[in-house]
Chains A and B, each alone.
Chain A
């Protein structure tokens, strides 16, 4: 158990009250003494530390502060105590620990204002960013030697090939869920056979691409933001610029291209696996043989459902890649920002994907691809 430092008061001296400190005046044993000393409101003429067994800078600070606040004299200090008291005296400071915080009624409007203007600025910057990508891309078209094939292949591996497993598993399970839940509802009308239409159309048209986009946003969009953000922090991006390598060409375009190219493939893959999942469930639980299910898919799913899915996919890929790279490039100061920007990249990408998906759904129905 800690032994706390203590103090005694002697007031009957002719030349004023004397406060004598005793025990170990070190950081581990002054916790309670501090409060007691602060509450002394009687005048003190002398602070005696002859009885102090051990002292460190925290103890010295307490002694000096006491003497300063009461205009008292310090007595009984040995060499070390004197040295430490002198050290803390010369280091005394009144600085704020943290920058001053404004009162709530000023802070809240300020944050609201900054957020709103931030949206406007963000939109403009995003358009600017997209523009610089187009410019860089045009430069690459005119000068194909600048194209970073290696980086693109690497990103294709990361975004596409490496996510096949998780996307396959997810789609298989979603296929099962759709077929199972659909069958339960359709059975009530005796229309259980339409489970095939439901599974086939919804995976190819909507869910395959949508779920894939969400997965890619979570897997790759976040990685884009975190990688580029960290590279910004370690000045790698600046180093690239000074060497004459455009970070847009070297970092952003391969990532966005990989996302745009991989999304249709992954989306189609996801739809196919989803249908297989549905067929598997139908075989096991609904007495529809596996291959009959697959054969029926060909008959009941119109070809334009496949096109609906495939048209949406690259757009979603572009959004995911753009959000990830843009947020990554916005990182400026510290590690916390990398985390915040990564979160923002994922949230923005998923949100935009869902908004656009709703738009596409209405659009394709209107143009007759229902």
Chain B
């Protein structure tokens, strides 16, 4: 059915790895993660292109967070090879690992801010850790503009995490993730628990930052609006593997029942409709002018 309506998309839906010849920010090959008898990942492979926002979706318990933890080296995989920004994570020497660590930023699900430090001081922690030669004044300046960059008001800089709302905590976490001007950003459910206005503001901010700073973003989400709004491609996790990677139209062209249910369920349709409306509104003024 989809083929008849959207013939242009079907052409794109051809295996897309072949006509991409840029380099990859993350390469995961043959990843297997086992906890006891239970295998979360079984021979999983995934490539993240440089400069894209890749959304990771999958049902609860399909190992999205475990995949992220494996990539950033918090979880030592049972088997497999992971390469981030050209450095192997699975076989790296500790020194090399530290070097790569300064080139990515991570936003954890709850923000994971250090609760005894202010937002500004939180942003300063990675700066202090990796670049002790940066003077106090410059470090304060960097922390200040990073806080604003993440979309927080100035006053939030000197506040403690317990004084912030959920959405502000996420932004403060983003500010800390951006502290070192990373090339790669990991976001674990950044919009979960935010109101729709805060969530779409966060999405917009992510997109803007990706474009201006030239980031690559690995984004775990359940938020269909986020997927439609800002993701260049989406990877679907199921049965311990990545069952499909592609743009949303490409995914819709596959006939995997989970993907169909995910994107064509009531929420999926609503997100798609609102995306269309937003696009139409974007076009209108320029059309008239």
Contacts and interface: CB of A to CB of B under 8 A. Distances in A.
B101 interface: no
B144 A336 contact: no
Given A31-B133, A87-B149, A96 B120 contact: yes
Interface in B21-72: none
A334 B169 CA distance: 14
A83 B154 CA distance: 21
B157 A95 contact: yes
By DSSP majority rule, is chain B's interface helix, strand, loop, or mixed?
helix
Interface residues of A, number: 34
B148 A91 contact: yes
A58 B181 contact: yes
A84 B70 CA distance: 32
B120 A97 contact: yes
Interface size class of B (residues with CB under 8 A): 35 or more
A92 interface: yes
A93 B212 contact: no
Interface in B61-85: none
A34 B145 CA distance: 16
A98 B157 CA distance: 7
Given A96-B120, A98-B120, A336-B115, A32 B133 contact: yes
B145 A88 contact: yes
B241 to A, nearest CB: 34
A56 to B, nearest CB: 4
Nearest to B115: A334
Contacts of B146: 57, 91
A268 interface: no
B120 A334 contact: no
Interface string A283-324: 000000000000000000000000000000000000000000
Given A58-B181, A92-B145, A97-B121, A34 B138 contact: yes
Interface in B144-170: 144-149, 154-162
A5 interface: no
A198 B208 CA distance: 79
Nearest to B99: A28
A57 B145 contact: yes
Given A58-B181, A94-B154, A31 B134 contact: yes
Contacts of A87: 149, 212-213
Contact of B213 (A34, A38, A57, A334): A57
Contacts of B214: 80
Interface in A54-72: 56-58, 61-62, 65
A364 B234 CA distance: 77
Of B130, B140, B145, B213, most A-chain CB atoms within 10 Å: B145
B144 A93 contact: yes
Contact of A95 (B116, B138, B149, B155): B155
Contacts of B124: 97
Contacts of B102: 28
Contacts of B130: 28
A270 B157 CA distance: 55
A35 interface: yes
A333 B147 CA distance: 22
A84 B212 CA distance: 7
Nearest to B127: A27
A91 B160 CA distance: 20
Interface in A88-140: 88, 90-99
B174 interface: no
A157 B148 CA distance: 53
A167 interface: no
Nearest to B211: A83
A88 to B, nearest CB: 5
B144 A95 contact: yes
B258 interface: no
B181 A99 contact: no
Interface string A24-44: 001110111011001000000
B194 interface: no
A166 interface: no
Given A31-B131, A88-B145, A57 B181 contact: yes
A335 interface: yes
Interface in A331-356: 333-336
A59 to B, nearest CB: 9
A28 B133 CA distance: 9
B157 A97 contact: yes
Contacts of A61: 141-142, 145
B144 A98 contact: no
A93 B181 contact: no
A38 B137 contact: yes
B180 interface: yes
A88 B209 CA distance: 11
B148 A92 contact: yes
A84 B208 CA distance: 12
In order of increasing CB-CB distance, the 7 nearest A-B pairs are: A31-B133, A97-B120, A91-B148, A334-B115, A95-B157, A56-B181, A95-B154
27 contacts: A27-B180, A28-B102, A28-B130, A34-B137, A35-B135, A57-B149, A61-B142, A65-B141, A83-B212, A84-B212, A87-B212, A87-B213, A88-B145, A91-B146, A93-B144, A93-B147, A93-B148, A93-B157, A94-B154, A95-B154, A95-B157, A95-B158, A96-B120, A97-B144, A98-B120, A98-B121, A99-B158
Given A57-B181, A88-B145, A95-B158, 10 more contacts: A27-B127, A34-B134, A58-B142, A91-B145, A93-B157, A95-B156, A98-B118, A333-B162, A334-B162, A336-B116
Interface of A: 26-28, 30-32, 34-35, 38, 56-58, 61-62, 65, 80, 83-84, 87-88, 90-99, 333-336
Interface of B: 102, 115-116, 118, 120-121, 124, 127, 130-131, 133-135, 137-138, 140-149, 154-162, 180-181, 212-214
